[in-house]
Amino acid sequence: MGNNHEIVWNSCLKVIKDNISLQAYKTWFEPIVPVKLEDNILTIQVPSHFFYEWLEEHYITLLKKVIKKELGVEGTLEYSIVMENTATNSTPYTVKLPALNRKSVKNAPVTMPINLNENQIRNPFIIPGLKKVNVDSNLNPSYSFENFIEGDCNRLARASGYAVANKPGGTAFNPLLIYGGVGLGKTHLAHAIGIAIKNQTPNKTVLYVGSEKFAHQFIDALKNHTTNDFIHFYQMIDVLIIDDVQFFSGKEKTQDVFFHIFNHLHQNGKQIILTSDKPPVEMQGMEQRLLSRFKWGLSADLSTPDLETRIAILEKKMYGNGIDLPRDVVEYLAYSINTNVREMEGALNTLLAQASLNKKAITIELAKQMVDKFVKNTAREVSIEYIQKVVCDYFDLPIEMLKSKTRKREVVQARQISMFFSKKMTKSSLANIGAHCGGKDHATVLHACRTVMNLSETDKQFRAYLEDLEKKLTIQ
């Protein structure tokens, strides 16, 4: 009778083998060891908690069928998980988990009892020998929601971040993936969510970690044979914020360990926040099972801020530092550096430093010189927006009129001059220039450039306008 459990399990395996692929069988069923059979309960030993969850998630129907076939309708399955306890080197301990009841698993996630005191788990953020009870969140207090300027470019990301901050783990936005180009505020927003959660629920464990740091800690854990401690530590976190998750690309083992941590946190209703420079669909070198999980919640993008938002960001920064700058200088910075908020703020800091060191007043000329040095050659290519602004200011026209359909002579002239300088001073396509000037096509832009050239050769006054404008647009 002693080997009954093995006979029963082998009969189950024969049926299972016929119903799934050989690869799946080898991965998920060969490592299982039958332990005992008592009162129609077959106990099987699986290598990990994750293994148990995977079987219950993917093979529940099959397991139910084979168990009922072998043991009758009363037959049930119980899992035994042997955890290796590396921290104390004591004997492995067993976790018993009920099975074949997905409802109870889904509604009340099974938390894995860890028979270790939490302070025995090695915190990867702590230098060995130093004791630390609380987990430091690694959050930057200056990256708060108050300092995060809202605009069309970030409205969805900011609103979803705010919802997550008010109810971590309790919204459909789990995970929340914030993606966008360099210097557009991904890290700022991720910190802001973490700070808001800490302020509202100080007892929650919030942790911000760069993906590179996470990968290096994992490598250290492998070297020191403390992988279990590493995993347990991250499984204790209530709100995990991973910055630049695309760094995991190509790192199979790191992705694997993150997958297990992600699953555990998600199933226990913990909040996961990720940032990336691209959406999941464009991430190369990432395992499909991870990518599919990234898509579970919400992917919100941060795009390049429009002019008004850029000006608001600069003004907020100036206000925070107690500085007042001439409006034309602020506008010039916002027009000139239009793709990267971080770069724009850096230019402002450089300008302020220049002015205070040289005891010069901050003028548009100083701003032009500084932007030229700061952004090197890219600043030489002024933006179409800035050209339009300078032309409209020069002729005292509202910029909206330039983009309208009106055929008034002075507006047409200003529009054509804008197109002429845009073609001359930017690398933009004719179609793009036309789009900026009220949706004109490339032929209209070509015609405008020819008209301006012809007029400049025959009309003295017109030529003077062009020379004046060129001086204003050319960065000294």
Is pLDDT of 156 > 80?
yes
For residue 296, which phi and psi values (nearest 5 degrees)?
A: -60, -40
For residue 80, give its domain range.
4-111
CA–chain centroid gap for 17, Å, is: 41
pTM of the model: 0.55
What span, in angstroms and rounded, lies between the C-alpha atoms of 186 and 276?
A: 8
What span, in angstroms and rounded, lies between the C-alpha atoms of 175 and 262?
A: 9
Q: Do 297 and 214 fall into the same domain?
A: yes
Rounded average pLDDT over 54-69: 85
pLDDT per residue over 292-318, tens digit each? Answer: 888 888 888 888 888 888 888 888 888
Q: Do 344 and 442 fall into the same domain?
A: no
Q: Please give the radius of gyration of the chain, using alpha carbons only, rounded to the nearest integer.
A: 31
Is pLDDT of 5 > 70?
yes
Rounded average pLDDT over 62-71: 88
Q: Do 348 and 362 fall into the same domain?
A: yes
Residue 241's domain is classified under what CATH number?
A: 3.40.50.300
Other beta carbons within 10 angstroms of residue 445's beta carbon come to 27
Q: Do 314 and 297 fall into the same domain?
A: no
Q: Do 101 and 63 fall into the same domain?
A: yes
What span, in angstroms and rounded, lies between the C-alpha atoms of 326 and 312?
A: 14
pLDDT per residue over 366-416, tens digit each? Answer: 787 777 766 654 445 577 888 888 899 888 888 888 888 888 888 999 999
Q: Do 174 and 270 fall into the same domain?
A: yes
Element (H, E) at 302: strand 298-302
Of 202, 204, 221, 205, nearest in space to 213 by CA: 221
Is pLDDT of 202 > 90?
no
pLDDT per residue over 442-459, tens digit each? Answer: 889 999 999 999 888 888
CA angle 280, 283, 288 (to 5 degrees): 70
Given a contact cutoff of 8 angstroms between Cβ atoms, the answer to whether 165 and 204 are in contact is no
What span, in angstroms and rounded, lies between the C-alpha atoms of 412 and 256?
A: 61
Residue 422's domain is classified under what CATH number?
A: 1.10.1750.10
Is pLDDT of 85 > 70?
no
Bridge partner residues of 302 (DSSP): 180
Q: Is residue 466 part of a domain?
A: yes
Query: Can you give the pLDDT at residue 1?
Result: 46
Q: Residue 25 contacts by C-beta under 8 Å, 6 or more apart in sequence?
A: 16, 17
What are the CA-CA distances from residue 296 to residues 172, 175, 201, 273 (Å)? 8, 7, 25, 12
Of 345, 193, 178, 190, nearest in space to 277 by CA: 178
Domain boundary among 380, 406, 431: 380
Of 407, 436, 421, nearest in space to 472 by CA: 421
CA–chain centroid gap for 77, Å, is: 41
Domain boundary among 266, 285, 302: 302
Query: Can you give the pLDDT at residue 125?
Result: 66
What span, in angstroms and rounded, lies between the C-alpha atoms of 3 and 123?
A: 43
DSSP-based three-state secondary structure for 82: strand
Q: Do 162 and 259 fall into the same domain?
A: yes
pLDDT per residue over 309-346, tens digit each? Answer: 888 888 888 877 777 788 888 888 888 787 778 888 88
Q: Do 393 and 374 fall into the same domain?
A: no
Number of structural domains (the chain) is: 4
What span, in angstroms and rounded, lies between the C-alpha atoms of 264 and 111?
A: 9
| Helix then strand then coil, % of the chain, to nearest 5 | 55, 10, 35
Residue 328's domain is classified under what CATH number?
A: 1.10.8.60
Q: Is residue 143 part of a domain?
A: no
DSSP-based three-state secondary structure for 438: coil
Q: Do 425 and 440 fall into the same domain?
A: yes
Q: Do 194 and 277 fall into the same domain?
A: yes
Query: Can you give the pLDDT at residue 18?
Result: 87
Of 19, 70, 82, nearest in space to 40 by CA: 70
Domain boundary among 354, 380, 406: 380
Structure-block tokens of residue 169: 């783990």
Q: Do 233 and 285 fall into the same domain?
A: yes
Of 93, 440, 424, nearest in space to 432 by CA: 440
Q: Is residue 127 part of a domain?
A: no
Rounded average pLDDT over 417-434: 87
Q: Do 91 and 185 fall into the same domain?
A: no
